[in-house]
Amino acid sequence: MIALMPNLPSDSPSRLRTLREAVGLSQRELARQIDERQSNVSFWERTGALPRSDKLAAIAKALGVTVEELLGEDKPRRTAGPGGKVRSVFEQVQKLPRRRQDKIVEVVEALLKAS
């Protein structure tokens, strides 16, 4: 049984192809970097089949991503950060235009210096 890359509509390019093209590698060059045949890279891209597990780390390294990203999982989020009301406020601030964010940062920094 062939495992398919998760979350890929059948009519879209494979995640592997998208990541490979984003860094400007040909199938042949990726295959060379991971010590694999170009026909295997082509197969993985065409079918969405996962490469063998022993190739995932090498592919991720060649593409400059994590194995999790290669498999379609979200980038790990930073868990350390403000909590409670402060988190809620800063989540709202993140949605503002950059200039407004900068003004808020100035005010917060001034308040911190004053305390």
Give pLDDT tens digits for 18-54.
Answer: 999 998 999 999 999 999 999 999 999 999 888 999 9
Confidence tier at 77 by pLDDT (50, 70, 90): low
Q: How many domains does the chain have?
A: 2
pLDDT, residue 78, reads: 59
Residues near 57 by beta carbon (within 8 Å), at least 6 away in sequence: 67
Question: Domain of 95?
Answer: 84-114
Residues 51 and 98 in one domain: no
The two tokens of residue 81 are 């950060």
66 and 102 in a common domain = no
Whether 46 and 88 map to the same domain: the answer is: no
Whether 23 and 60 map to the same domain: the answer is yes
Q: Quick one: 51 and 97 in the same domain?
A: no
Task: For tokens 């780390």, name the residue.
Answer: 57
For residue 87, what pLDDT is reported? Answer: 77
Q: What mean pLDDT, rounded, does the chain reach?
A: 83
For residue 75, what pLDDT is reported? 64
Please, what is the end-to-end C-alpha distance for the chain in angstroms? 63
